[in-house]
Amino acid sequence: MLAVGADPIRLPLAGNAAESVLSVNDLSDYQRFRDVLDGKQRIVILGAGLIGCEFANDLRSAGIDVDVIDPAAQPLGRLLPPQAAGFLRATLEAAGVRFHFGTTAQSVASAAPAIAAALADGTTIETDLVLSAIGLRPRIDLARASGLTVNRGIVTDAFLQSSAKDVYALGDCAEVAGFNLPFVMPIMQAARALAKTLHGTPTPVVYPAMPVVVKTPTCPTVVCPPPPGVDGQWEESVAADGVRALFHDSAGTLRGFALVGAATKDKQALTKDVPPLLG
């Protein structure tokens, strides 16, 4: 059973401090990050996705100056429709997070005792630490070298079986019936099914609707992304205290939602209405 996880994607950066850019993918990374952060006041975060926004919120709450850089036009660019993202952005900005959208970091150079992060739009940010949170790539090298079928992840059927009999994959490294879902809940679903299969009762994995709670307490956010490739559209209802966005497919079925601010109270009710992703 392959459960080898995923590697952080590294942005190719120029500059003599490029090697000092940290990413956090496990506890030892996190310990290193905390050690380097100790006594520092400023941080640049590459990536305004889930992990970038969560770190931005926490570090800002701890009094750190936070700049977040992302080539997209909004935070959680692949998950949130525009008004919901705008609400999240405005709330984090009001808390003091500085976003730099539509650009990317090009170099990270020593400017002792600081670090200078130069962006493609000509801005240079003086900072103490650069954290990269631009995403993860499933670890597929071992599977590929073993002749297993790989795509984005290690390709498995709904029973978690790879292209080779008796070789299974699950977790961040796996692409299960077309889905690579790097979150704990799908892994738990997969592990339960696989346990039954390995005990002699072949059991396909079931993925119910699994909303992701974004840990940005300054602006509570929950998103249940529509399955990739589903035709449909977002409808957003904006209120002073939050945004409720629903994604219906072309047949009118609710296939996903995004809730920001006070609208997160609707999470449970909406989750019941979204059909399972798989099974």
Ligand X SMILES: Cc1cc2nc3c(=O)[nH]c(=O)nc-3n(C[C@H](O)[C@H](O)[C@H](O)COP(=O)(O)OP(=O)(O)OC[C@H]3O[C@@H](n4cnc5c(N)ncnc54)[C@H](O)[C@@H]3O)c2cc1C
Quick check: 105 and 15 in contact, CB under 8 A? no
Exposed, middle or buried, 274 (CB in 10 Å: 0-12/13-18/19+)?
buried
Q: Which of 15, 52, 171, 232 binds ligand X (CB under 6 A)?
A: 171
Q: Minimum CB separation from ligand X for residue 25, in Å?
A: 5
d(CA 215, CA 10): 23
DSSP 216: -
State yes or no: residue 142 binds ligand X (CB under 6 A): yes
Using the minimum distance from each CB to ligand X, give the nearer residue, 98 or 215: 215
- Contacts (CB under 6 A) with ligand X, residues 46-65: 51
Quick check: 13 and 105 in contact, CB under 8 A? yes
Report the run of H or E that residue 142 belongs to, with start and end: helix 141-145
> Would you give the distance in Å from CA 158 to the centre of its chain?
23
Torsion of CA 69, 73, 76, 80, to 10 degrees: 170
- Contacts (CB under 6 A) with ligand X, residues 196-215: 215
Name the residue whose CB lies closest to ligand X. Answer: 171
State yes or no: residue 72 binds ligand X (CB under 6 A): no
Q: Which of 1, 5, 107, 262 binds ligand X (CB under 6 A)?
A: 5
Torsion angles phi and psi, residue 93, rounded to 5: -65, -40
Distances (CA, A) of 74 to 42, 78, 95, 186, 191: 22, 9, 17, 26, 34
- Contacts (CB under 6 A) with ligand X, residues 178-197: 182-185, 187
Q: Minimum CB separation from ligand X for residue 86, in Å?
A: 23
State yes or no: residue 1 binds ligand X (CB under 6 A): no
Which one of the spans 3-11, 14-22, 106-114, 265-273 is the region binding ligand X (CB under 6 A)? 3-11
d(CA 274, CA 256): 7
Write down how long the chain is.
Answer: 279
Using the minimum distance from each CB to ligand X, give the nearer residue, 15 or 171: 171
Q: Which of 67, 70, 172, 236 binds ligand X (CB under 6 A)?
A: 172
Q: Minimum CB separation from ligand X for residue 37, in Å?
A: 14
- Contacts (CB under 6 A) with ligand X, residues 207-266: 215
The site for ligand X (CB under 6 A) is made up of 3-5, 24-25, 51, 139, 142, 171-172, 182-185, 187, 215
